[in-house]
Every structure is written in structure tokens, then in C-alpha cells.
Structure 1
Amino acid sequence: MLKTKLATLSIVFPLLTACGGNALQVKSEHVSDEKIAEIIANIESFYPDADKELKQHILEVAVKSIDDMVFIEGGSFMMGDFRTPCIYKSLDNLTWTPDAKCWSGANARKTGALNLHKVTLSSYSLSRYETTYYEFDAFRLINNLNVLDYEMRVVKYPSSYHSYDNRPTPIQKWQEAKNYCLWVAKLTDLPFDLPTEAQWEFAARNRGQKIYYATNDGFIRYQGGSLENEYGYHIDYKAEEINFDNDVREVGLLPPNPLGLYDMTGNASELVNDWFSKEYYKQSPELNPKGPDEGTKKIYRDVGGSRRFVTNRGVFEDQPEYYPLYGFRCAIQLIDPI
């Protein structure tokens, strides 16, 4: 199980922004000292008047954003509702076969996901974790905004302020998620952005395999659940078998999918870059689709509910408040590993 700071980082690069005690330090296994120096120079250039503590916070977020990237080799797959078995014992343990002929549920019809279509993607990188409070705090603070849940974290219970650090940050408006990824791009000089819907699904399905859940084995096992064996007995899941939780929790606590991506099924639902259109799957280009050119609503994935299938599409509109239901993760739009 991951520790609360998540990244397992070992090499320390102390880099001076001035003399003596003004050194900023960050740990990284993968980001070169030259790249870290470049990020520090960007921080000093963009935010010369920020205090050292906030600069350090921003530096840690920028470097960790690179460290957390998982390279996803491109390829082709059939995107959309690839159908489910019509007869099954449990929705939690579905296995696809060529005989699977039934729609996955009402979501597929309502959102257009039933229109199966071929997609070919170039390679890209995707964050192994959903964006956290700690990361989003830096973005808000440098833009002179209060951290989220300010009343709870700062006014009422300041001693528990950091207990939120590794929870997925909630989002009220899609543009906030977009702006955050572009802000990290500005800090790092790398093309961070939200993933496209196709990129998200390809990665969640372990490069497009016909699996129903983006867990370590394609099934879901939760606390208090059980599986019916061949003799008709229900066997409770063991603690070490649990790979899914309906509640929002710290990121990275349960096993990742085979690509090393955490919480692609479970935790917060995730905003992606695309506009929503129910008809888009009928007209989507095969190569690197990016969604409609315009629209009024956005797409989110990992849609909650009793059938949390990886092919489900959600339709997002800006919310009146910051609900923990919605979060996001960033991608890097480069065809080579970082």
C-alpha cells in the first residue's frame, strides 16, 4: 500500500535560487537536475514575489507531475460498448466472449457509447494518479485563491489541513481542470493537457482490451463482497483481494491496472478534454479523435452507479459547488517517453 506522499523518490537535487538558506530542494528518480533547474528558473520568472514556501510547493508539484507519468504505447482498439454477456452470475466478475451480445446498460444508449468504432492512437503519457488537493492547492494559492474546503481545513480544523493532501481534488468547472494541466505545462515546458476521451478509455482498458473494469484484473472485489464458487457457495473476499471501493479516498490505495494507473475504476469520476455529442461515435475519425469541435457539455469517465463499466460515458456541466464526485488527471501529449 502506498504511503501518503505517494511518489517513491530517492535522489535529492538542491538548487539555489539565491544564496545560503534560499535553496529549493526536490527529490526525483526520473527528472534530471537540468530539468529541475529549468523548472526552478520558470518559477522564479513567473512568480518572483511568491514566498519561498509556496515556490517550494510549486516545485514539488511540477516535478512530481513528471515523475508520475506512465507512458502508454499507442495502438488500435474498438472504442465503445463492446457488449456484455446476456446471462451472468455477477456484474462484478464479467468476462467477455464473442457471444457477448447485450448492451452494457442504459448509459450506452443514452450517451451514444453503443456505437462501437475503431480508434488508432499515437503514444502518449498519462498520470498514474488523479490530481490531488495538495497539487491543486499550489495552483489556487499562486493565483490568489483560497484552498478548497477552506472553512473546514483552515478555519475550523487546521490541525487536519494536510489530511486532505492525497485525496482527489474536487472540480466545480471543467475549465479549472484544463487550466491546471496547462499551468503544469507552463512550469515544465512539456505539453501537459487533459487526456482525450479515447486516450482515457484506451489506458483504462489496458490498451484497449475487452475488460469491464479498470482494476488490476478486470473484475471488482470490494469489502464485504463475495463470489459464488462452482458449488454455489459464496466465498467472502479476503482483505488482500480488495481492489475497489465506492467511496472517495486517498489516491493510490488500491491496486493499479496492469499499466500502473490507479483509480481508473473507483474514486472520483474523471473529466477529459472532449465536448459531448451523443452522435460523435458515429462520425469519429479513426486516428487520434479529439471529440466535437464545439459543444455545451463535456465528457467525464469512470461513471459511478451499479454498472460502473469502463466504457460508460458521463455528461458534465459546471457544478454549483465543489463536489468530491468529479476529479481529473493530466496527460502529456508527446509520442515519446518523458
Structure 2
Amino acid sequence: MRTTTVGVIRIATTGPGDVSGLMAMIGSGAIDPAAILAILGKTEGNGGVNDFTREYAVAALCTALAPKLGLTPHEVEQRIAFVMSGGTEGVLSPHITVFTRQEVAQRPAGISGKRMSIGMAHTRDFLPEELGRTAQIAETAKAVSAAMADAGIADVADVHFVQIKCPLLTSDRVEAAAGRGKKTATTSAYTSMAYSRGASALGVAVALGEIGSDIRDEDVLRRYDLFSKVASTSSGIELMHNVVIVLGNSAASASEFEIGHAVMDDAIDAPAVMAALKSVGFGADPQPGRELVNIFAKAEASPNGAVRGFRHTMLEDTDISSTRHARAAVGGLIAGLAGTGAVYVSGGAEHQGPAGGGPVAVIARLKH
């Protein structure tokens, strides 16, 4: 098995088109552009179908990186996994997290145990009528297994976060399916985001053995007892396939980082956030020589309209979508416990953790 080293750097941005921080890191030698495998970001859009800050951010990054890699912007987008999550409500702060990976001859003598590793894979392109259905689930499961192998992770227990960028439906895509005599899971572009996120998350659960493979189309967005404890999925208009990024710990990694996770049962589950922090050495009695790099979490409004017996209005607000409410609530909770608003909180947690909750993962850097 090959030995790799992984780098993780969080960079603040002043807007979706701001690449100055990344370029400064590259200019100083802190980041080798040829080693960049993935970039996850939070942009200050609405997180909906018409959130073009995501596409703008990806375009800006690809244009900036193209001359550094000797590629066209389109080739950069094919080479690097870009996952931009729209919505920085409340105290959430726009930023990007850059993941790099390089092969090394062997592990340094001072590194022991399992360290953070990253792997990536893509599904095939989906037909519009396959989104939110078993075809998307099955293909995602295959890609998760491929990404685990790419990361050098053999044990599913070592997988702590699976980030997926998945497609959504547009009116043109719905019409194209209808023209072939096919019916899509929904005709609503906004609702299709939930179907795609949910099916992708169920694909993660199947791949990791969290649920069985006997999933039916009608289980998506209905059987909320079926979920993954590590899946984080985000829908976007800019693609028709799933991009799968697996983050975990591996004995084949020589990185300075570790990742751990916990599962929030609801939007105010502070103990779960503390458990995730404790899993990588933080908490009431923090281990010395560790630096918090970033926290990644999913947020969802409880579908029964209440949190711990008290009614909430997130699902009834016609001015602000429930996903925006959820991001602000969970973002504020995590920021207060972590001491920073520059955390990655994504809305829409269908089948990503229990209904109304979601996974939360923490990356720590171990200082030598």
C-alpha cells in the first residue's frame, strides 16, 4: 500500500471570487498547487437553486489555478474536487478548506497510529430520472468504496466524513426526461436538491454497511430511520454526476492530521459537538500540541416541527427557507463551542444522521 501525506489548510475569503489567500499560500510555498486534491468552501449565497456564488467561487478558483498547473480552467475543474456550500447565515464565516495529498517514501519515525487520509472518486453521469432513486444510491455506494481504496482506508470504522457534491433537477432536465417518456422523482428544482442529497447519503450508508442494500425508490425522503452517520451531501446545478470525497484515518498516512466525528441528534446537541472535539484531543482536558483546523457539520430542521418537545417555526417561515434557519442555528452552536465562525456547516441533512440532526466531524493538526 502506498504511503501518502495529507495537508489541510483553512483560508478566509472576502467574497466568492476571492482567491488572494490561496494565491498567497501558493506563492509562499505553503501549498503546492500540483498536490491539491479537493477544495471545500462556504460561500455567502442563499444555498438554493439560484445560488450562483457556488459557481462563481469555483470559476474564480479554476481560473486562478489554471496557469499554476499548466491547464485550462475546465481541466482544473476536472482534476480537483470543488465542493462549494452556499449559505453563511448568522455567525458563519465564508472560507475555503484546501486538501492536498502527496506520496512519500515512508512514514517519518515520529509518526505512529492512524493519521488522516483522503480519497476521491466520481460516479457516472446520471439521467434526470435517476436522481433521488436507487440508481443514484447504487452508483454512489460504488464510488464511496472506490474513494476509500483511493484513501488507503480498509476499515469502514476509520471513515469519519464523506462529502458528496451531487446534481439537482432543472426544468430543462425534467423536460428532457419527459421527452423520453420518463418521470422524474419531482418536477420541483428545489425539492430535487433534497432527493439528490438523500439518495447520495443512502449510498454512503450502503457502502459503509450502516444499512442494507435493499433500498427502494419510495424509501428516499420517507424512511428517515435509514441514514448514514458520516455522510454530508450538497446539491449543485453545475454537474450531473456525484463527486465523492472520503475523509478518514489510515495507517498508510504520514500526515500531521487526525479526524474524528460524532452525530448530533438535533440542532442543539452540544454534547455531540463536544464528543467530536474530544475524539481528536480537544474538550475539557485537551491534549497538548494540537491545533483545531476545521469542523464540518450538517444541519437540518426537525421534520416533526419541534426540538425536544418545543415547537419551532423553521418549516413554516415563508420568508426564509428552513435550511437557512438550520445553518444559522447549528452554526452558532458549533461556533460558540469551537471559538470560531469559520466552520463548514451545510444545510439539508436528509438521511445524513437522524432526522433533525446530522454528523459533525473535526480535523486536528498534531504539532511536533
State the structure with more CA Rg. 1
TM-score by length of 2: 0.25
